[in-house]
Structure formats: C-alpha cells, structure tokens
C-alpha cells in the first residue's frame, strides 16, 4: 500500500467539510443527494483506477516531465493552463471559505486581510519547496490531526442528541433522481487522486488493490459523515438554514472533562493546519504546472511573478467576494471540475495507452 497516494486522497476528504460540500449536498437532501452519493462513489473509484493505472506507466514522473518533449506545444500550454486554473481556484476557494469561517466564529472584528496575510506567508513558502518536502509536511499534518478529528467524529456518532430518525427520514428519499451538481459535489471527496499529476514523482511502484479498497471505505465514511451527521444534529428541515452545517454541528458537541469544552474551537484549531497544507498542495501543483508549461527553466524572477499573481488574486478574492457569491461560484465550479475531470482522465488514459502501444 502506498501511503503517499492515500495522503493525497485523505486530505481532500477532510477538507470537504470546509468547502461548501455539506451545504450543497444538504440543499438537495430531498431531491437526489442520497442517490447522487451512491452514483458518485463508483464513478470516482473508476476514474481513480483508470488514472492511476495510466500514471503507473510513467513512474517517478509528473506531467511536466511526461510532456517535456511534446511536439504539440500549443495544446500543452492550453491544457496546462486549464489545469492551473482548476488547482489554483480549488485552493483559493478553500482559503477564502476558511477565512470567512474564522471571521464568523472566532473573531468577527479581526480583519480578513490580516488572516489572509498570515496564511499567504506560510503557503507561498511551502509551495516553492521540492515536491518531496511538501509531501513530508502533508504527512506530518495528517499524522497529528487525523486521530483528533477522528475522535471528534466518533463523539458525534455516539452523541445522545443525534437524531437517527431524521437521518432515516432523509434516507427514504433514496430513489429521487440527482442532478449534475449533486454528483459533481459528491465526487470532489475523491478528487485527491488528480494531484498525482505532480506528486507521481514520488510514486515508484504500481498501486496495489489495497489502496483502492481503503479509498472505497474511507469515501463511504467521509460522505456519510459529511452529509448525514449535520442532519442528525440539526434536523431534516432545519439543517438547510445553516451556511456551514458542519461547523454548527461541531458546536453542538461538548467534551465535559476536556480543558476546552466546546468542540467547535478544537475543530477549528485542528483545521487551521489542514487548510494550510491543503491549499499548499493545490497551489504547489499549480505552481509546478506553471513552471513546466515552457521549455526554459524558470528563473527566480518568474517564480516571484507567479507568487505575486497568487497574492494579488487572493487579496482581490477577500475584498470583492462575499459568502453568498462564494457559495454560488463553488456550486458551478464543482460541476465544471467534474466534467473537466472526466474529460481529463479519459483523454490522458487514451494518450497513455496509444503511446504504450506505439512503443511496442
């Protein structure tokens, strides 16, 4: 079992709580979310299997190395540019939403730009590190935080205030037909596998079946927890009223004998580092794709220009967006990402197969 691959998928599963994934899924709880989740899991596992199988033909190489000698320069620039936008926007959405959460639930008087400056200082340093060091940081963050978040989720499942009747009520809408937004949002939980376009540099052997079995089990638990636990705490009807259902749910849990009784503060403390490393992973992928778009080795000035662009866009995002606009943008972004991800995996698998057959 390759732990690096599992880390990339696991960080996406954890960060979906901060994204508007629970909000979107709960919005359609009576209109196809349950069926959408059941459809999303096999789709995601199929995409994961096909993509990792294609990438296994290029061990210890990312997309910049694989397409370094490509004859179709214009096509490469276009494809890399689209991927850069998707990965950068994924990190930006996460960052802007978590800043909004901290501002709402911790200190509304603290300037958002100050929070952004603190995060950007760390993120801009991390994304310039070698891929191997970024992975080591990801491993450390997950090693520290995953057991603690797992304990909070355990407390949620065993809480006496959770209403299993509300969960079963939503479950009765199993046969409602889902829309594309629900399926696209549910598949985002598994989308960490796409980070292999850069992090495949660290994968030396073909992934075993245990990796896919583990992802299947973790995906089930993640989607069930993300969607049903807020419903169990807040009710099938009332839960839609909350902008961040899981943050509100964590505030419904108490640890009587803990130094910090309200779980919401522990929850947000743990997620501070998870958001940091999640955004860093996404932006590291975008940064490496930007560097690999052209043949010439990037200089320090070019790297500095890329970082400056990231900072300017982030500042503009904090200044000119609000929560409602961000929620709307995320909903459409999920659909676009889902469609592009299918086309991306299918085209790369066909290209990899064609290239392998031509060599034979």
Whether 1 has a pLDDT exceeding 80, the answer reads: no
| Nearest partner of 216 among 24, 33, 25, 48, judged by Cα | 48
* 91-149 per-position pLDDT tens digit: 999 999 999 999 988 888 889 999 999 999 999 999 999 999 999 999 999 999 999 88
Whether 165 has a pLDDT exceeding 50, the answer reads: yes
- pLDDT attached to residue 359: 52
- Give me the mean pLDDT over the 238-259 stretch: 84
Enumerate residues 6+ apart whose C-beta is below 8 A from 338: 180, 183, 184, 187, 188
- pLDDT attached to residue 20: 79
Query: Quick one: pLDDT band at residue 263, thresholds 50, 70, 90?
Result: confident
- Give me the mean pLDDT over the 10-14 stretch: 93
- pLDDT attached to residue 360: 47
18 versus 168: which is more confidently predicted?
Answer: 168
Whether 18 has a pLDDT exceeding 80, the answer reads: no
Query: Quick one: pLDDT band at residue 180, thresholds 50, 70, 90?
Result: very high
Enumerate residues 6+ apart whose C-beta is below 8 A from 126: 134, 137, 276, 277, 280, 284
* 28-76 per-position pLDDT tens digit: 999 999 999 999 999 999 999 999 999 988 888 989 888 887 777 788 8
Whether 357 has a pLDDT exceeding 80, the answer reads: no
Whether 260 has a pLDDT exceeding 90, the answer reads: no
**Cβ–Cβ < 8 Å for 4, 203:** yes
Whether 223 has a pLDDT exceeding 70, the answer reads: yes
- pLDDT attached to residue 256: 78
- Give me the mean pLDDT over the 264-270 stretch: 88
Average pLDDT, the chain: 89
Percent of the chain, pLDDT > 70?
A: 97
Q: Quick one: CA dihedral 153, 158, 160, 161, positive or negative? A: positive
- pLDDT attached to residue 187: 94
- pLDDT attached to residue 295: 65
- pLDDT attached to residue 358: 47
Count Cα neighbours of 352 within 13 Å in the Cβ-side half-sphere.
18
* 278-323 per-position pLDDT tens digit: 999 999 999 999 988 876 676 788 889 999 999 999 999 999 999 8
Give pTM, 2 decimals. 0.94
**Cβ–Cβ < 8 Å for 198, 285:** yes
* 201-219 per-position pLDDT tens digit: 998 888 888 889 999 999 9
């Amino acid at each position: 079992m390759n732990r690096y691959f599992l880390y990339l998928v696991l960080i996406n599963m954890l960060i979906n709580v901060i994204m508007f994934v629970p909000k979107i899924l709960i919005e359609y709880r009576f209109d196809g979310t349950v069926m959408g989740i059941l459809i999303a899991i096999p789709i995601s596992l199929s995409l994961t299997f096909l993509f990792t199988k294609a990438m296994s033909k290029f061990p210890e190489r990312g997309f910049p190395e694989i397409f370094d000698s490509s004859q179709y320069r214009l096509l490469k620039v276009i494809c890399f540019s689209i991927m850069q936008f998707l990965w950068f926007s994924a990190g930006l959405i996460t960052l802007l939403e978590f800043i909004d959460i901290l501002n709402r639930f911790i200190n509304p008087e603290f300037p958002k730009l100050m929070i952004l400056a603190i995060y950007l200082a760390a993120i801009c340093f991390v994304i310039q590190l070698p891929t191997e060091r970024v992975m080591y940081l990801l491993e450390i963050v997950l090693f520290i935080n995953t057991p603690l978040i797992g304990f909070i989720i355990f407390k949620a499942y065993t809480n006496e205030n959770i209403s299993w009747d509300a969960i079963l009520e939503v479950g009765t809408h199993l046969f409602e037909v889902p829309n594309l937004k629900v399926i696209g949002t549910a598949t985002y939980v598994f989308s960490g596998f796409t980070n292999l376009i850069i992090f495949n540099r660290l994968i030396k052997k073909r992934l075993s079946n245990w990796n896919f079995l583990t992802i299947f089990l973790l995906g089930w638990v993640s989607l069930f927890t993300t969607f049903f636990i807020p419903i169990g705490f807040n009710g099938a009807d009332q839960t839609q009223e909350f902008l961040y259902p899981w943050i509100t749910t964590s505030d419904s849990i108490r640890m009587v004998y803990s130094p910090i009784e309200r779980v919401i503060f522990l929850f947000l403390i743990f997620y501070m580092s998870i958001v940091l490393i999640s955004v860093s992973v996404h932006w590291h992928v975008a940064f490496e794709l930007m560097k690999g778009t052209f043949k010439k080795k990037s200089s320090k000035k070019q790297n500095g220009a890329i970082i400056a662009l990231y900072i300017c866009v982030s500042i503009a995002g904090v200044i000119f967006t609000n929560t409602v606009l961000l929620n709307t943008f995320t909903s459409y972004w999920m659909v676009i990402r889902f469609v592009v991800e299918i086309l991306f995996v299918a085209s790369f698998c066909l290209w990899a197969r064609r290239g392998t057959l031509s060599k034979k």
